[in-house]
């Protein structure tokens, strides 16, 4: 007797919230074997769980590695779906994300990338300490709807302004939204350098992206 879809999804939600990566893997495999679509698993398990995790840690005095640990089953689940599903997940928009040159911090960037992926965006993660030239090449190659820049150091915040200026000079801003974030970055700074938006955390980044490209 085949397990019910609702039962699989319920157990999957539970395993994710418990941080049980092994059980999450088992249940996703079970769902796919029972003809559940990738999108069904995303919409009814991965996305709702990611939002609950974000709300759980919102505004609290939390330890960032705890958030990454909680998101580990979701990240593993995303990889599994991409590798095992015969159905192609449709990504209506691409997002290029990078930590700017001179800055090697990646925890915040990685959290944002996971949340965007879970919410149905194709994310091209360029990594950390990324030169402006490489970011420009990625924008030309991938033609993203959004470029997300991260900086955790006051000494590298100016690189965000430099990148935006280069994009303006190359006339690449017409169809591209640029958002910024990171510890020292603020909404006022984002406005000052000509960014299209600023977000203080991963969940708000998803909402910001939705608003900018809707």
pLDDT given for residue 89 in this prediction:
60
Cβ proximity of 55 and 203 under 8 Å: yes
- Three-state SS for 175? coil
* CATH class, 5-84 region: mainly alpha
Q: Are 103 and 163 in contact (CB under 8 A)?
A: no
Chain-centroid distance, C-alpha 88: 19
CB contact burial 98-130 (16+ within 10 A = b; e otherwise) = bbbbbbebbebbbbbbbbbbbbbbbbbbbebbb
Q: What is the pLDDT of residue 9?
A: 92
- Looking at residue 137, its pLDDT comes to 97
Tell me the average confidence (pLDDT) per consecutive run of 10 residues in the chain, 214 residues long. 81 90 92 87 87 71 68 86 67 91 89 85 94 97 96 94 96 94 94 95 88 90
> What pLDDT score was predicted for residue 3?
72
Sheet containing 94-99: give its strands across. Answer: 122-125, 94-99, 146-150, 177-181, 197-198
| Helix intervals (H) in the chain | 5-17, 21-33, 38-41, 47-57, 64-84, 107-118, 132-142, 157-169, 187-193, 202-213
Torsions phi, psi of 125, nearest 5? -95, 110
Domain limits, the chain: 5-84, 94-213
CATH class held by domain 94-213: alpha beta
The answer to pTM > 0.85 is no
Give residues with Cβ within 8 angstroms of 157, minimum separation 6. 151, 182, 184, 185, 189
User: Between β-strands 122-125 and 94-99, what pairing exists: parallel, antiparallel or unpaired?
Assistant: parallel
């Amino acid at each position: 007797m085949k397990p019910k879809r609702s039962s699989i999804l319920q157990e999957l939600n539970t395993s994710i919230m418990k941080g049980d990566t092994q059980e999450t893997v088992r249940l996703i495999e079970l769902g796919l074997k029972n003809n559940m679509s990738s999108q069904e698993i995303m919409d009814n398990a991965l996305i709702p769980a990611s939002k609950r995790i974000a709300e759980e840690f919102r505004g609290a005095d939390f330890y960032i590695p705890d958030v990454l640990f909680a998101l580990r089953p979701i990240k593993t689940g995303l990889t599994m779906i991409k590798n095992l599903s015969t159905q192609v997940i449709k990504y209506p928009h691409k997002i290029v994300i990078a930590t700017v040159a001179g800055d090697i911090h990646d925890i915040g960037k990685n959290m944002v990338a996971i949340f965007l992926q879970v919410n149905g965006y194709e994310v091209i993660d360029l990594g950390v300490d990324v030169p402006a030239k490489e970011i420009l090449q990625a924008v030309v190659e991938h033609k993203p709807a959004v470029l997300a820049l991260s900086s955790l150091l006051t000494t590298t915040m100016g690189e965000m302004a430099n990148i935006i200026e280069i994009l303006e000079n190359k006339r690449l801003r017409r169809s591209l939204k640029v958002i910024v974030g990171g510890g020292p970055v603020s909404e006022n700074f984002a406005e000052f350098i000509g960014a299209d938006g600023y977000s203080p955390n991963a969940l708000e980044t998803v909402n910001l992206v939705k608003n900018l490209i809707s």
